[in-house]
């Protein structure tokens, strides 16, 4: 960019200077023209907007916004300043003060020459006059460009238009005063339908757009409705009061404990057709709302609903809170305590920004709601009925009579599947007393309560399988069963009119610290025919021990079943080795006197008539040779050695001490021997 700076003094006349730089057609922001402004030789104090006025060779004036820095004002020439070849004049103003002026020439190419035969450079007065005319024209154009128009009803029968001018700079306004015309012909009523309804951003306006291509006779309109502010929290639904009959409710209409808008319910008996009907209190009478009665089903699993809030759609568990906010999370399930993870809840935005009030819409058609029922989910029109059943169909629309096609309804299943019956175990019920409250207390929390039942009466079942008051007390029977029953035991009335147990429940197992409970034997499964019933109420396989293991000279045996004897072993005996062997009868013989065996002495014991089957059984050791005290049995010193020969034994004392001992032998039964001891 080529920069050209001029210098002027506010205390001296403005001089129009020739721009030293060259301008070329088609350029853009190629030149910066600036003015350094002095005031009596010192830097001037300037304020206001900087504007440059470029008067092109074709007479057009271009206004350019510039910049002010201290006492220097500058502009940058835009593309429009290079659009016309020829001489152009440039004036720079700060606010209303002219601070500089110059002339320049726009060349088509570098071979162009200035076409100005008279070589006349316009004076500053001529330039300012031309700029003033341009500003006046611009101001007048702005007045027309910013003109506003309004209309109002004329006071007479003649229309009029009034032009007014207000403000500075002047603002033009035209007020049209119109006369009401004649009423036109009644137009055809179009069949208007609603297309899409979209939720717009908070703070935006309601938008209604006719869908392109929809005919005039049946136009379709798409709506965009902004989110509104959250409304005040409404009162929760609850039954304020119950009545035994409709007549009792009507008689109490003027009572002070109910108010307009309160809900009440008729609570009587299941035979009463008004039982479980809900009414709302109106300004002058009660109005029926809904019949909440139905067949009593088997009590199902208890369900829970938990509510949490968040200021924005949650992304982590810590976003949740228990106080109301813009987002609500709903959990429905079997958890008895509120889940702590945000993903366990289904989240809905319930508060948006308050929207503007929309225009009043056209009066809509009457709306109707029709209800039908079905035993199963309908597949044909004949499946529908008017009496309550397991499925309910709801129609909401403009039909003034109930539609006859099942597809016109939205269907919901309102009766769940029958749940399974759980076993009930508990403490023993003592029925030895005639006090009927014992049984009632024991089972009071185990079954559904009967509305309007008499305290102490037995519960019964009606023809529909519902609990009802039997009208019988324990005192109505000849006697109360004298005995102890388990929970789960049903009672019957015997032929003599007394209560008796109908059957027992399944036996309860014993543990290491608690007794079991008498009852029926548990059912064995297929394949349990060889099992036995254990005290823990389970069927178990009979353990079969393994055969005994025999002992050796160095290894002990193990307990087990006796090994099976083979044919011909009927006279044999089972030995410690675990084998069946022939029985050999032996007798014990001991030396009558105590032997004295000195150190390094060997003695020989000869037994007459014995050649085999004899063995040394044990040793008796003493502390003296005569009348010595026994000191041990069968525990000879390590220094003692002995060998068995064909006719006796050889015993050697290899120790340094004299040993006093009495050997004991085992001999075959058929032998009688005499021991001869010799060194």
Q: pLDDT at position 246, please?
A: 94
Residue 328: which domain range?
304-349
Q: pLDDT at position 378, please?
A: 95
Q: Cα(666)–Cα(664) distance, rounded to whole angstroms?
A: 7
Q: Would the pLDDT of 502 be above 70?
A: no
Are 13 and 132 found together in one domain? yes
**Sequence-ordered strand ranges (E) for 316-456:** 327-333, 346-349, 368-374, 391-397, 410-413, 429-430
Q: pLDDT at position 445, please?
A: 40
Q: pLDDT at position 426, please?
A: 35
Q: Is residue 112 part of a domain?
A: yes
Tens digits of residue pLDDT in 169-197: 667 777 777 777 777 777 777 788 888 99
Q: Is residue 510 part of a domain?
A: no
Q: 625 versus 387: which is more confidently predicted?
A: 387
Q: Is residue 511 part of a domain?
A: no
**Domain C-terminal end among 464, 483, 503:** 503
Q: Would the pLDDT of 667 be above 90?
A: no
**Domain C-terminal end among 503, 528, 563:** 503
Residue 448 pLDDT grade (very low, low, confident, very high; cuts 50, 70, 90): low
Q: Is residue 515 part of a domain?
A: no
Q: Would the pLDDT of 117 be above 50?
A: no
Three-state secondary structure string covering 562-604: CCCCCCCCCCCEECCCCCEECCCCEEEEECCCCEEECCCEEEE
Q: pLDDT at position 432, please?
A: 40
Are 262 and 202 found together in one domain? no
Three-state secondary structure string covering 177-210: EECCCCCCCCCCCCCCEEEEEEEECCCCCCEEEE
Taking CA atoms, 421 is separated from 418, 446, 524, in Å, by: 9, 12, 21
Q: How far apart are the first and last CA of the chain?
A: 144
Q: Would the pLDDT of 306 be above 50?
A: yes
Place of tokens 């035991």: 489
Q: Would the pLDDT of 377 be above 80?
A: yes
Are 27 and 111 found together in one domain? yes
- Any idea what DSSP says for residue 213? T
Q: Would the pLDDT of 251 be above 90?
A: yes
Task: Please tell me whether the overall predicted TM-score, pTM, comes out greater than 0.85 for this model.
Answer: no
The residue-averaged pLDDT of 123-149 equals: 66
Percent of the chain with pLDDT over 70: 74
Are 118 and 24 found together in one domain? yes
Tens digits of residue pLDDT in 145-159: 567 777 777 777 778
Residue 376 pLDDT grade (very low, low, confident, very high; cuts 50, 70, 90): very high
Return the SS3 of 410: strand
Q: pLDDT at position 412, please?
A: 92
The residue-averaged pLDDT of 113-137 equals: 60
Q: Is residue 384 part of a domain?
A: yes
Q: pLDDT at position 493, please?
A: 60
Cβ contacts of residue 168 below 8 Å, gap of 6+? none
* Two structure tokens written together for 320: 């949740």
Q: pLDDT at position 612, please?
A: 63
Tens digits of residue pLDDT in 509-564: 899 999 988 878 888 999 988 888 999 989 998 877 788 998 988 899 998 889 98
Using an 8 Å Cβ cutoff, are 663 and 641 in contact? no
Q: pLDDT at position 310, please?
A: 94
* Residue 509, number of CB atoms within 10 A of its CB: 15
Residue 636 pLDDT grade (very low, low, confident, very high; cuts 50, 70, 90): low
Q: pLDDT at position 495, please?
A: 60
Most confident by average pLDDT, 38-52, 142-156, 446-460: 38-52
* Two structure tokens written together for 590: 């001991």
The residue-averaged pLDDT of 476-485 equals: 53
Residue 476 pLDDT grade (very low, low, confident, very high; cuts 50, 70, 90): low
Residue 57 pLDDT grade (very low, low, confident, very high; cuts 50, 70, 90): confident
Q: pLDDT at position 444, please?
A: 40
Are 6 and 129 found together in one domain? yes
Q: pLDDT at position 237, please?
A: 80
Task: Identify the bridge partners of residue 648 per DSSP, sorted by sequence position.
Answer: 606, 645
Q: How many CA atoms lie within 13 A of 431 on its CB side?
A: 24
Residue 587 pLDDT grade (very low, low, confident, very high; cuts 50, 70, 90): low
305 burial (CB, 10 Å; 0-12 / 13-18 / 19+) is: exposed
Are 53 and 132 found together in one domain? yes
Are 11 and 27 found together in one domain? yes
Q: 143 versus 435: which is more confidently predicted?
A: 143
Q: Would the pLDDT of 299 be above 90?
A: no
The residue-averaged pLDDT of 403-410 equals: 95
Are 385 and 479 found together in one domain? no
Q: pLDDT at position 447, please?
A: 43
Using an 8 Å Cβ cutoff, are 33 and 19 in contact? yes
* Two structure tokens written together for 350: 């319930």
* Two structure tokens written together for 557: 């045996």
Are 277 and 335 found together in one domain? no
Q: Is residue 611 part of a domain?
A: yes
Are 23 and 113 found together in one domain? yes
Q: How many domains does the chain have?
A: 8
Q: Mean pLDDT over all residues of the chain? A: 79
Are 172 and 282 found together in one domain? no
The residue-averaged pLDDT of 653-662 equals: 82
Q: Cα(27)–Cα(2) distance, rounded to whole angstroms?
A: 12
Q: pLDDT at position 347, please?
A: 92
| Choice among 131-135, 303-307, 587-591 with the minimum mean pLDDT | 587-591
Q: Cα(131)–Cα(98) distance, rounded to whole angstroms?
A: 11
CATH number of the domain where residue 7 is located: 2.60.40.3350
Q: Cα(664)–Cα(643) distance, rounded to whole angstroms?
A: 14
Q: Is residue 323 part of a domain?
A: yes
Q: pLDDT at position 127, please?
A: 65
Q: Would the pLDDT of 121 be above 70?
A: no
Percent of the chain with pLDDT over 90: 24
Q: Would the pLDDT of 313 be above 90?
A: yes
Pairing mode of beta strands 72-76, 160-166:
unpaired
Q: Would the pLDDT of 481 be above 60?
A: no
Q: Would the pLDDT of 585 be above 80?
A: no
The residue-averaged pLDDT of 305-313 equals: 93
Q: Would the pLDDT of 440 be above 50?
A: no
Q: pLDDT at position 170, please?
A: 65
The residue-averaged pLDDT of 287-305 equals: 74
Q: Would the pLDDT of 231 be above 50?
A: yes
Q: Is residue 647 part of a domain?
A: yes
Q: pLDDT at position 37, please?
A: 93
Most confident by average pLDDT, 48-52, 83-87, 226-230: 48-52
Q: Would the pLDDT of 471 be above 60?
A: yes
| Choice among 247-261, 379-393, 442-456 with the minimum mean pLDDT | 442-456
Are 620 and 646 found together in one domain? yes
Q: pLDDT at position 346, please?
A: 94
């Amino acid at each position: 960019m080529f920069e050209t700076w001029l210098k002027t003094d506010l205390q001296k006349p403005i001089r129009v200077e020739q721009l030293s730089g060259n301008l070329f057609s088609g350029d853009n922001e190629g030149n910066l023209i600036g003015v350094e402004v002095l005031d009596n030789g010192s830097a001037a104090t300037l304020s206001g907007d900087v504007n440059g006025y470029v008067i092109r060779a074709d007479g057009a004036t271009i206004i350019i916004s510039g910049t002010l820095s201290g006492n220097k004002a500058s502009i940058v020439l835009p593309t429009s300043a290079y659009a016309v070849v020829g001489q152009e004049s440039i004036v720079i103003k700060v606010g209303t003060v002219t601070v500089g002026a110059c002339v320049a020439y726009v060349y088509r190419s570098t071979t162009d020459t200035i076409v100005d035969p008279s070589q006349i450079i316009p004076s500053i007065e001529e330039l300012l006059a031309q700029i003033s005319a341009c500003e006046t024209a611009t101001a007048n154009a702005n007045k027309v460009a910013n003109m506003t128009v309004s209309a109002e009803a004329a006071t007479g029968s003649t229309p009029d238009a009034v032009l007014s001018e207000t403000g500075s700079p002047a603002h033009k306004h035209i007020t049209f005063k119109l006369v009401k015309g004649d009423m036109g012909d009644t137009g055809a009523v179009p069949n208007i339908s609603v297309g899409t309804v979209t939720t717009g951003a908070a703070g935006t306006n309601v938008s209604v757009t006719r869908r392109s291509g929809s005919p005039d006779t049946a136009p379709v309109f798409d709506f965009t409705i902004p989110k509104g502010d959250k409304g005040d929290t409404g009162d929760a639904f609850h039954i304020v009061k119950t009545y035994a009959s409709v007549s009792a409710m009507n008689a109490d209409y003027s009572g002070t404990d109910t108010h307009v808008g309160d809900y009440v319910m008729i609570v009587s008996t299941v035979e009463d057709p008004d039982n479980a009907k809900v009414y709302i209190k109106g300004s002058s009478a009660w109005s029926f709302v809904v019949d909440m009665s139905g067949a009593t089903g088997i009590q199902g699993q208890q369900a829970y609903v938990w509510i949490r809030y968040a200021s924005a759609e949650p992304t982590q568990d810590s976003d949740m809170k228990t106080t109301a906010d813009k987002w609500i999370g709903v959990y429905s399930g079997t958890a008895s305590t509120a889940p702590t993870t945000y993903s366990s809840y289904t989240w809905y935005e319930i508060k948006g920004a308050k929207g503007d009030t929309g225009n009043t819409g056209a009066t809509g058609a009457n709306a109707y709601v029709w209800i039908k029922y079905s035993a199963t989910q309908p597949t044909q029109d004949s499946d529908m009925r008017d009496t309550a059943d397991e499925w309910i169909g709801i129609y909401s629309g403009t039909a003034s009579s109930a539609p006859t096609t099942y597809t016109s309804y939205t269907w919901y299943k309102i009766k769940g599947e029958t749940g399974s019956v759980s076993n009930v175990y508990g403490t023993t019920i003592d029925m030895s007393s005639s006090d009927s409250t014992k049984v009632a207390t024991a089972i009071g929390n185990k079954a559904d309560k009967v509305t309007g039942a008499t305290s102490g009466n037995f519960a019964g079942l009606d023809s529909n399988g519902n609990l009802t008051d039997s009208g019988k007390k324990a005192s109505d029977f000849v006697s109360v069963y004298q005995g102890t029953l388990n929970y789960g035991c049903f009672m019957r009335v015997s032929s003599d009119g007394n209560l008796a147990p109908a059957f027992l429940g399944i036996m309860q197992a014993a543990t290491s610290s608690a007794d079991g409970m008498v009852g029926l034997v548990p059912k064995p499964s297929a394949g349990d025919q060889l099992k036995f019933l254990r005290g823990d109420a389970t069927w178990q396989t009979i353990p079969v021990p393994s055969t005994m293991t025999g002992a050796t000279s160095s290894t002990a045996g193990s307990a087990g079943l006796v090994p099976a004897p083979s044919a011909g072993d009927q006279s044999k005996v089972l030995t410690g080795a675990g084998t069946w062997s022939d029985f050999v009868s032996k007798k014990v013989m001991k030396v009558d006197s105590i032997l004295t065996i000195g150190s390094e002495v060997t003695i020989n014991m000869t037994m007459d008539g014995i050649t085999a089957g004899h063995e040394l059984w044990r040793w008796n050791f003493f502390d003296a040779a005569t009348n010595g005290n026994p000191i041990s049995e069968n525990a000879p010193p390590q220094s003692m050695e002995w060998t068995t020969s064909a006719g006796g034994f050889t015993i050697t004392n290899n120790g340094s001490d004299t040993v006093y001992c009495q050997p004991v032998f085992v001999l075959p039964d058929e032998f009688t021997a005499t021991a001869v001891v010799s060194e």
